[in-house]
Amino acid sequence: MKHLLKEMRGYLKETILAPLFKMLEATFELFVPLVMRDIIDKGIPGADTGYIIRMSLVLVLLALIGLVCAITAQWFSAKAATGFATRLRHNIFKHIQTLSFTEIDRLGPSTLITRMTSDVNQIQNGVNLTLRLFMRSPFVVFGAMIMAFTIDVKSALIFAVIIPLLSIVVFGIMLLTRPMYKKVQDRLDRVTGRTRENLTGVRVIRAFGAEEEEERVFGLSNLELEKMQRFVGRLSAVMNPLTFVMINVAVLILIYTGAIRVEIGILTQGAVVALVNYMNQILVELVKLANLIIQMTRAVACGNRVDAILREGTEKEQAVLLDEEAAAESEAAEDSASPYAVEFDHVSMQYGGSPEDALTDISFRVKKGETVGVIGGTGAGKSTLMHLIPGFYPASAGRVLVDGKEARDYDVRVLRKKIGIVLQKASLFSGTVRENLLFGDPDADDAALTEALKKAQALDFIEEKGGLDAHVEQEGRNFSGGQRQRLGIARALVRHPEILILDDSASALDFATDAALRRAIREMEGEMTVFIVSQRTASIMGADQILVLDDGRLAAKGTHAELMESCEIYREIYESQLN
């Protein structure tokens, strides 16, 4: 949690002024019982109307000054809390962008979403209440006790007894509920994850008529969250009535002892009223303090969860992002005389939490400008192989070299700038076609974007929809699967990468469009190395070399003709597609 508080550095003034104005408000509030005492003891017995009016005006003045201080404190605390939460969300989002695929897979998108929204909101509320009440409530509690001692020491001893007892109750409940709030947020993660899965796969759920089963599973997750929230809520709710009972018992004792001391002439009636008012002030502030502690407990639990994300270890190549100038200098220094664009040297790869390798002892070399086809059965490791080149996942063993240098030794920006990748699932963002294509190269002009659409065989349908300014809905829902794939390919071509990876990204295209796409890529200027992952042998037959994967191992490599003679797996795939 301390790690997060550094985000408050830009709000030092607000952090100081908010508690300061709250303490000023509390100071004026502590004088109110004394003014009331004087009105009762001096003004009322002597029927001194002028004195009563003057003291009443003093009460009004104290109230107005307190109101101004309270509003000022609220403004400063709200500004600091919202600014802090804004910075925190920004830093969490920025940090998530640096996480490797391994770490994102382990954490899960639902957890990341919950921690950036619900958890940060709880922290914001906690900071807001802390700035307003953390100094004020204890100040009023101990200030009221001190003022009570100035009125009557013996009666004030009741304050000295009740305050420690109340502190034991408040802090005891806090210690009990703190770990439970973490469990509540963990269960909220599960509900968020289940909700996300259902919304993402709603078409599949309806296609299989599994609505009732999903409702049942969601209901169980929601019930677990409800039970935990109820349990923690009930435990926290005990605090207020328990403190009310203890304070009211103290008030009864105070009135009883005060009446006796008034009867024997030690105390005045005004003094007793002042003592009761101070006790009531303590009651109100302890209730506020109890609510503050409950909120702080939740905020600390959420803060630890957010801190765990920010402290999540990143892979070496993800740890440092250079600024634009430094990245450009680093890129210039990366020029290599190696004739090979990509080299795999006895590479093995294992996903986090998996006991078996996804890839085992893979070795091959690809010269610059070559086209490489990658084929194999479902689950053979084709996509995993491609993800190692841009460093999405680290190799468990062996070396992955790009331009003669290990991928893990590159600055991530320099490495990714060399590579254009189109993943199996075409991901588009809400906005316009132009905004989506500019992900490939933010500096590209309209001519470059149009040329990329043309090479990706996407220009015709984009022009029909309104050109580069055509609207794109979230995830590209207003485009067909084949259109989304072609837009994804165009986005990769915009940056003119040295290495282009098409990870089964033409699976929704017909054979004619697929052939036209491959022909357009071959005709592009420059010495671009192309990896084509496909289930179709027709898509990779013309490749300079073909890699055949089987159960995470490189079964064979060679040209189409060579593999037809030497590789039974490749031959079976080819012949099955002819029939």
- Can you give the pTM of this predicted structure? 0.70
**Are 161 and 136 part of one and the same domain?**
yes
What is the C-alpha separation between 301 and 78, in angstroms, rounded? Answer: 21
Q: What is the mean pLDDT of residues 118-133?
A: 88
**Which residue is listed with tokens 């303090």?**
289
**Are 307 and 397 part of one and the same domain?**
no
Is 207 inside a domain boundary? no
**Are 400 and 490 part of one and the same domain?**
yes
- State the residue range of the domain holding 111: 4-187+235-314
Tell which residue, 102, 96, 99, 100, has the closest CA to residue 352: 102
Q: Which of 314, 346, 373 is the last residue of a domain?
A: 314
Is 199 inside a domain boundary? no
Give bridge partners of residue 348 from the DSSP assignment.
397
Residue type, 292: L
**Residue 529 region, left (φ>0) first, then alpha (ψ -120 to 50), else beta?**
beta
Q: What is the pLDDT of residues 147-164, one digit of tens each?
A: 888 888 887 788 788 878
Q: What is the pLDDT of residues 204-256, one digit of tens each?
A: 888 888 888 888 988 888 998 888 888 888 887 887 788 778 878 888 888 88
Number of domains in the chain: 2
**Are 265 and 330 part of one and the same domain?**
no
Q: Which of 314, 343, 367 is the last residue of a domain?
A: 314
- Residue 319: is its pLDDT beyond 50? no
113 CB neighbour count, 10 Å cutoff: 17
- What CATH number is given to the structural domain containing 549? 3.40.50.300
Give bridge partners of residue 366 from the DSSP assignment.
342
- Provide the terminal-to-terminal Cα distance of the chain, rounded to the nearest Å: 63
**Are 288 and 366 part of one and the same domain?**
no
**Are 355 and 283 part of one and the same domain?**
no
Q: What is the pLDDT of residues 544-563, one digit of tens each?
A: 999 999 989 999 999 999 99
CA 37, 136, 117: angle at the middle one, nearest 5? 145
**Are 499 and 568 part of one and the same domain?**
yes
